[in-house]
Amino acid sequence: MLRRSTAPDLNQDGSTALERALAQPMILGLFLPLQSGAWSPSMAPRDTHWGFDYNAECAIRAEELGFDLVFGLAQWLGKGGYGGEMRFREMAMDPLLVTSGLAPITRNILLISTVHILYGWHPVQLAKFAATIDHMSGGRWGLNMVTGYKPSEFHMFGLDDIEHDVRYAMADEFVTLMKRLWSEEENLTYEGPYWSMQDAFVAPKPVRGRPVLVNAGTSPATIDYAARHSDFIFITSPAGADPAAACSALPAHNRKIKLAARALGQEIRTIINPHVICRPTEKEAKQAVRSILDNRDPVAASNFFRSIGGGGGGKLSWSATTEEMWTVGGNVHLVGTPEQIVEWFVRLREAGCDGLQVNFYDFLPDLEYFGKAVLPLMFEAGLRHRPGL
């Protein structure tokens, strides 16, 4: 049975969800498991489910625990998803619709949705959708604008795939037009290289000027786009899933992104998404990893890895990952006791990451344990302000 968040209303002091996130020493978000199998092509036992009720409970619990944001990725796969016995990610809820459903049952947390803007969207249409969800959520909606990196997705929509940097030029024009539609009080007529509109108008305007803007990736074109438009950029480790290697490579990467933004007079926050496997003892945490690997779906793991990891579709973003890393859960792996996890969080902060967006293997129980055992240590380590402070 779906319930509403019981978190105290943090908006009463006039603060916005974005301001509250930015005021934290380390931004904290949760990846939502909108796709069947979430991040791990493994059949090790778990109750994680792609359905709306399960994801709603994840978002509500994250809010009650004081997280700043939840985020949904979007992917378009054919029959069987990434395949294998588990038909990895065949079931996939649309994050735009899910975040609109989450708006009235949460009250504080940012709801960030991915949208593939090149798969048939027009700036007027998305500007209107965004303003609508922004109102439904009281100014808590965020847009992760992605341009799509899989030719198969373009083909699914009957489109030819588009060269990498052209995609970002299209995205730049798209978001610039949405910003104008969100702010201008007169009809807009425009004829550009990629988009055109005549007497276009969006009302209501978003609650606070514009929704939170986010993008994800690694390439120079992505960083250039992020520097100009985004509040947050979702980053990956340039050195793969090993956290020590990631912490060596991340300072230069984070610096490059922030310098690019500052050169334009902008501030951007970098958010990395570690896969957290935390147990009371290191032995138990390592056993959990072993169980994920021992129960891997080999076909799904191989397809998933080949299409994204190891420099597959993700190119620079996941170039240093291996199939084994990708089976456990993609991105940086943090495995250990609550103390060890928080030590890694501190090191990621020192490496210039402004935020964490955590993935789990089994979302609700792992989130619950995170709230009980890891969050208090984050307060102690100065990574998070205690509620009410």
Ligand X SMILES: Cc1cc2nc3c(=O)[nH]c(=O)nc-3n(C[C@H](O)[C@H](O)[C@H](O)COP(=O)(O)O)c2cc1C
The site for ligand X (CB under 6 A) is made up of 73-75, 114, 116, 146, 148-149, 216-219, 222, 234, 236, 273, 314-317
User: How would you classify the pairing of strands 275-278 and 333-336?
Assistant: parallel
**Alpha-carbon distance 274 to 322, whole Å?**
16
Give the largest Cα separation in the chain, rounded.
64
The angle at the Cα of 12, spanning 369 to 382, to the nearest 5 degrees, equals 40
CB nearer to ligand X: pick between 218 and 327: 218
CB nearer to ligand X: pick between 182 and 232: 232
In 3-state terms, what secondary structure has residue 231? coil
Give the list of residues 6+ apart from residue 252 with CB closer than 8 angstroms, or none. Answer: none
CB nearer to ligand X: pick between 273 and 302: 273
Give the list of residues 6+ apart from residue 336 with CB closer than 8 angstroms, or none. Answer: 277, 278, 279, 282, 285, 344
Least distance to ligand X, CB of residue 185, Å: 33
**Alpha-carbon distance 351 to 316, whole Å?**
19
CB nearer to ligand X: pick between 84 and 330: 330
Residue nearest to ligand X (CB): 217
Least distance to ligand X, CB of residue 95, Å: 7
Least distance to ligand X, CB of residue 74, Å: 4
CB nearer to ligand X: pick between 216 and 342: 216
In 3-state terms, what secondary structure has residue 209? coil
Least distance to ligand X, CB of residue 94, Å: 11
Least distance to ligand X, CB of residue 191, Å: 27
- List C-alpha distances in Å: 103 to 9, 100, 108: 14, 5, 10
Least distance to ligand X, CB of residue 49, Å: 19
In 3-state terms, what secondary structure has residue 6? coil
Least distance to ligand X, CB of residue 241, Å: 13
CB nearer to ligand X: pick between 234 and 305: 234
CB nearer to ligand X: pick between 97 and 207: 97
CB nearer to ligand X: pick between 116 and 269: 116
**Alpha-carbon distance 115 to 227, whole Å?**
19
Q: What is the phi/psi pair of residue 189, to 5°?
A: -115, 130
Least distance to ligand X, CB of residue 308, Å: 8
Omega of the bond leading into 123 within 30 degrees of 0 (cis) = no
Around Cβ 241, how many Cβ atoms within 10 Å?
26
